[in-house]
Amino acid sequence: MTVKKALITGITGQDGSYLAELLLEKGYEVHGIIRRASTFNTQRLDHLYQDPHSPRARLFLHYGDLTDGTRLASLLETVQPDEVYHLAAQSHVRVSFDEPEFTGNTTGLGTTRLLEAIRSTGLPCRYYQASSSEMFGATPPPQHENTPFHPRSPYGVAKVYAYWTTRNYREAYGLYAVNGILFNHESPRRGPTFVTRKIATAAARIKAGLQDHLYLGNLDARRDWGYAAEYVHAMWLMLQHDQPDDYVIATGTSCSVRDFADHCFTHVGLDYRDHIRFDERYLRPSEVDHLVGDASKARRILGWQPTIHAPELARLMVDAEMAALPRPVRPADSAPETALTLTAG
Ligand code: NAP
Ligand code: G4F
């Protein structure tokens, strides 16, 4: 039986790690592109580690960067993937206001580089584009596949560019290319500067007496928060369908940042109002006030449906933070095992 090959950009990120897990479970050979860094950046993948020398190894990492189109083309030639999941991006909205040019170059033009590499190598692979609800921006909810875009950040603008580039390669060259328009999705693997993870971490640390306060910006913004492990399944489903198309993936419910904080702090028996302080540095020059997705198309055509909503998500994230808290060292404790760390190259 031929083993399917997938290439994932952004494999070291939250979604990349869940997707790699899912595809390995499904029997795929998984190749991931990672950036060279002066420190290890593969922590989210350590539990999937396989010695690349083993004949059973099915996870392979390769150095590459969205700013290097030549490398993307040579990797495609080498790996010959059946499916390409393009998840890599400068994905932080607040940071995109500080680094608009870099965000445009990676999140926007990086998509063109990858699609052009696929087109020029002539590979018959299927392509997934990580599009975002941030593209809807100021357009009121509920947002669905035909809702007009009105991005409110350099990140949102770059994602709109990438969305239309993906559609253009589908229409102009007949590529099997899809946009997954995913609403916010979180997990214990979420980057520590996104608001849900920031709140969950602080609730656990405050409960443990390790800190007193948490500084946040706008508490009134409302988001449709789902669970990342369920959302990567939707990515895979999109690439298994007969026809390439674009899909919204969301829970259909929203809550405010304040509500999310309430869920997290209440879970550990605390009142968020006693611990949250305001810091204007976390405000954005233009904000997205309210996102709620209508994922009925994905439910109808792909059979995808989420089961985890914000309250359960908050609890599972806080539980993970509590479990990860440093334990006081006692003389009887045995030495910790050395963590396996993936190496690439
Ligand atoms: P994430 O945790 O921030 O991961 C981003 C990934 O992109 C990381 O692996 C990062 O590598 C990589 N990357 C960044 N710049 C790169 C470059 N120049 N070259 C190569 N790789 C680069 O993001 P995520 O939450 O998993 O999201 C995955 C994708 O979905 C992103 O495109 C994001 O914009 C989009 N999205 C996310 C959400 C959400 O709520 N999570 C919703 C809609 C869309 P390092 O580890 O080295 O930094
Ligand atoms: O957690 P956030 O930074 O996520 P945001 O801006 O919604 O973007 C995330 O979701 C997008 C999908 O819509 C993705 F495309 C994108 O890649 C990313 O994954 O902020 C959520 C809300 C915002 O309204 C923000 O203003 O929380 C508010 N907020 C309040 N205080 C804060 C903070 N956000 C952060 N990061 N840090 C704060 O201290």
| pLDDT per residue rounded down to tens, the chain (345 residues) | 789 999 999 999 999 999 999 999 999 999 999 999 999 999 999 999 888 888 899 999 999 999 999 999 999 999 999 999 999 999 999 999 999 999 999 999 999 999 999 999 999 999 999 999 999 999 999 999 999 999 999 999 999 999 999 999 999 999 999 999 999 999 999 999 999 999 999 999 999 999 999 999 999 999 999 999 999 999 999 999 999 999 999 999 999 999 999 999 999 999 999 999 999 999 999 999 999 999 999 999 999 999 999 999 999 999 999 999 988 766 555 444 333 334 344
Q: Are 20 and 30 in contact (CB under 8 A)?
A: yes
Q: Rounded to a whole number, what is the distance in angstroms from the first to the last CA of the chain?
A: 28
Sign of CA dihedral 105, 183, 291, 166: positive
Q: Which ligand is nearest to the CA of 134?
A: 2
Is 127 annotated as a binding-site member? Answer: yes
Quote the CA–CA distance of 91 and 105 in Å, as a whole number.
Answer: 12
166 CA distance to ligand 1 centroid (A)? Answer: 17
CATH topology of domain 5-190+225-253+291-307: Rossmann fold (3.40.50)
Quote the CA–CA distance of 263 and 253 in Å, as a whole number.
Answer: 15
Is 169 annotated as a binding-site member? Answer: no
Q: Which atom of ligand 2 is nearest to the CA of 132?
A: 15
Q: Which atom of ligand 1 is nearest to the CA of 66?
A: 19
Active site residue 134: yes
pTM: 0.96
93 CA distance to ligand 2 centroid (A)? Answer: 7
* Residues near 343 by beta carbon (within 8 Å), at least 6 away in sequence: none
pLDDT for position 134: 98
